[in-house]
Amino acid sequence: MSPLPTYDVAVVGLGAMGSAALYQLARRGARAIGLDRFAPPHERGSSHGETRITRQAIGEGEAYVPLALRAHAIWRELEAATGETLLVEAGCLIISREDDQVERRARTGFIQRTIRAAERYGISHEVLNAAELAYRHPQFILRGDESAYFEPGAGYVLPERCIGAQIGEAERLGAQVRLGTVVERIVPEHGAVRIETSAGTLLAGEVIVSAGAWAGALLGGRFARLLEPQRQMLHWFAIEPDAVPLWERSPAYIWPHGESLDDFFYGFPALHGSASLKTANEQYDALVDPNDFDRVVSAAESRAMFEANLKGRLRGIRPDVVRSATCLYTVTPDSAFLIDRHPEAPRILVVSPCSGHGFKHSAAIGEAAAEIAITGRSTVDLSAFAVSRFDTAGGTPSTGANG
Ligand SMILES: Cc1cc2nc3c(=O)[nH]c(=O)nc-3n(C[C@H](O)[C@H](O)[C@H](O)COP(=O)(O)OP(=O)(O)OC[C@H]3O[C@@H](n4cnc5c(N)ncnc54)[C@H](O)[C@@H]3O)c2cc1C
């Protein structure tokens, strides 16, 4: 029997996180292989739909800021290496009522927390009152009691291009890539990990599991409960011809409004020539099986999005939907990332940073994952994302990989 193919590190899932990890492993000269059930960039996971907001002062928690800062630097390096545009500094506005204290998952007091993070890390920003906001950004229809945080170095990244560039660079630097290959089981053995796939078995010294919405089912045990796939929707609405220039010049924006958790949406500038505006809100009661859920956004769902959020707030936007898509969040109980060694199988590194705000950090998370797999530790402190934060007194026992 011929020996199994053997690698220093295997990366399971080549979306936002896995493509970044594979690129960073290859840069460091590791014998690395990346496996994906589809052919990233694809439209079946969490990383499609043209754009993702990026910011550097992270109101979800200051532990994220070093990741965001590093990710921007890596994207600029990748742009220089590939000649691709990956990051557009269109700026980002967070619009909110000054006294907004609505309980929002990881985003209660979002503006104030963002301002504190910007001040602490010296991130360039402005705080605008409603009059300044209305004067500078007439595309927004305001009530008059809003204020806004504006970060000029924020904006958006182009997710499909980021993933494609990182996989391309990883291969150029010697990493192996196996697409259309489903990882079925990950089994720790003496001194290695056996990876059973739809196209045979291989061995690796370390495994990075960056399987996005599929990670919970693949890892099993407590991870199946901690990593919940949730269906999300993206909508592109038509812009009135006169308003197109206004929206092409717009920054990205995040706008919690009203008194309920659902009173929240965000959006992007109109991409040049598209005459359409991409916006989304968030669902936290739409648990799905990533292999079997309704991938079509209904006309009623887009209409509800327009009525609840856009109507009366965005100037020159028509209710006509020109495109829509579903996408998956992988949500943890506290909406924060989970990046840690598997408690029972330390050669398995679980990299599950979604909960709706992961892309902006992905280049840096891939680097940190590669550092851990190769040297045992990362430059950026990831302790805030440890699985042990979910341990309860008396303990919910972990059942381990495939357990
Ligand atoms: C609608 C929406 C809007 C978002 N907006 C933002 C935003 O504005 N800003 C931001 O920062 N973040 C945002 N996010 C979050 C961000 O996009 C995610 O954090 C990120 O894309 C997650 O990447 P991932 O690598 O974990 O998952 P994915 O990119 O989905 O990658 C997982 C990969 O694993 C593969 N895979 C799964 N199981 C297996 C298996 N068993 N064998 C082999 N391969 C496997 C899949 O095919 C897939 O390619 C948004 C997410 C969504 C859904």
Q: Which of 362, 365, 12, 351 is nearest to 159 (CA)?
A: 362
Is residue 69, in this structure, part of any structural domain at all?
Answer: no
Residue nearest to ligand 1 atom 3, measured at CA: 356
Cα of 212 vs centre of ligand 1, distance in Å, is 5
Bond before 41 cis per omega within 30 degrees: yes
Same structural domain for residues 22 and 122?
no
Cα of 142 vs centre of ligand 1, distance in Å, is 33
The set of residues, in sequence order, having a beta carbon less than 8 Å from that of 80 and lying 6+ positions away, is: none
Strands 264-267 and 252-256: antiparallel
Same structural domain for residues 234 and 307?
yes
For ligand 1, pick from 23, 47, 105, 232 the residue to mutate: most ligand atoms within 8 Å of CB. 47
Cα of 350 vs centre of ligand 1, distance in Å, is 14
- Which ligand 1 atom is nearest residue 18's CA? 25
Instruction: Report CA dihedral (158, 161, 166, 171) to the nearest 10 degrees.
Output: 180
Is residue 83, in this structure, part of any structural domain at all?
Answer: no
For ligand 1, pick from 14, 17, 24, 52 the residue to mutate: most ligand atoms within 8 Å of CB. 52
Same structural domain for residues 115 and 237?
yes
Cα of 13 vs centre of ligand 1, distance in Å, is 9
Same structural domain for residues 284 and 254?
yes
Strands 6-12 and 32-35: parallel
For ligand 1, pick from 167, 357, 361 the residue to mutate: most ligand atoms within 8 Å of CB. 357
Cα of 191 vs centre of ligand 1, distance in Å, is 30
138 vs 136: CA distance, rounded Å: 6
- Which ligand 1 atom is nearest residue 360's CA? 11
Is residue 82, in this structure, part of any structural domain at all?
Answer: no
Cα of 297 vs centre of ligand 1, distance in Å, is 19
Contact 197, 182 (CB under 8 A): yes
Structure tokens at 43: 């439209």
Give the pLDDT of residue 284: 86
Q: Across the 403 residues of the chain, what is the mean pLDDT of every consecutive 10-residue run? A: 88 98 98 98 98 97 97 98 98 88 76 96 97 97 95 98 98 98 96 97 98 98 96 98 98 91 93 97 94 98 98 98 98 96 97 92 98 98 98 44 32
- Which ligand 1 atom is nearest residue 211's CA? 34
Among 308, 331, 354, the domain-final residue is 331
Same structural domain for residues 112 and 236?
yes
Ligand 1 — pocket residues by CB below 6 A? 12-18, 35-38, 40, 45-47, 52-53, 182-183, 210-212, 214, 218, 232, 234, 280, 327-329, 353-354, 356-360
Write down the pTM of the prediction: 0.96
162 vs 236: CA distance, rounded Å: 21
Q: Is 371 helix (H, G, I), strand (E, B) or coil?
A: helix
Is residue 395, in this structure, part of any structural domain at all?
Answer: no
Is residue 13, in this structure, part of any structural domain at all?
Answer: yes
pLDDT digit string (tens) for 72-119?
999 999 999 999 999 999 999 999 987 777 777 777 789 999 999 999
Range of the domain at 169: 6-48+159-227+334-390
DSSP symbols for 206-240 = EEEE--GGGHHHHH-HHHHHH-EEEEEEEEEEEE-
Tell me the HSE value of 18 on the side-chain side, using a 13 A CA sphere: 34
Residue nearest to ligand 1 atom 4, measured at CA: 356
Residue nearest to ligand 1 atom 29, measured at CA: 15
Is residue 79, in this structure, part of any structural domain at all?
Answer: no
Cα of 209 vs centre of ligand 1, distance in Å, is 12
Strands 276-280 and 345-352: unpaired
Same structural domain for residues 322 and 258?
yes
Cα of 18 vs centre of ligand 1, distance in Å, is 9
Is residue 62, in this structure, part of any structural domain at all?
Answer: no
Same structural domain for residues 252 and 309?
yes
- Which ligand 1 atom is nearest residue 51's CA? 8
Cα of 109 vs centre of ligand 1, distance in Å, is 26
What domain count does the chain have? 2
Same structural domain for residues 266 and 314?
yes
Structure tokens at 376: 């045992």
Cα of 47 vs centre of ligand 1, distance in Å, is 4
Same structural domain for residues 207 and 241?
no
Give the pLDDT of residue 1: 59
CA angle 158, 163, 169 (to 5 degrees): 120
CATH number of the structural domain spanning residue 116: 3.30.9.10
- Which ligand 1 atom is nearest residue 252's CA? 8
Is residue 80, in this structure, part of any structural domain at all?
Answer: no
Cα of 389 vs centre of ligand 1, distance in Å, is 23
CATH number of the structural domain spanning residue 182: 3.50.50.60
Residue 109: exposed, middle, or buried by beta-carbon count in 10 A (0-12, 13-18, 19+)? middle
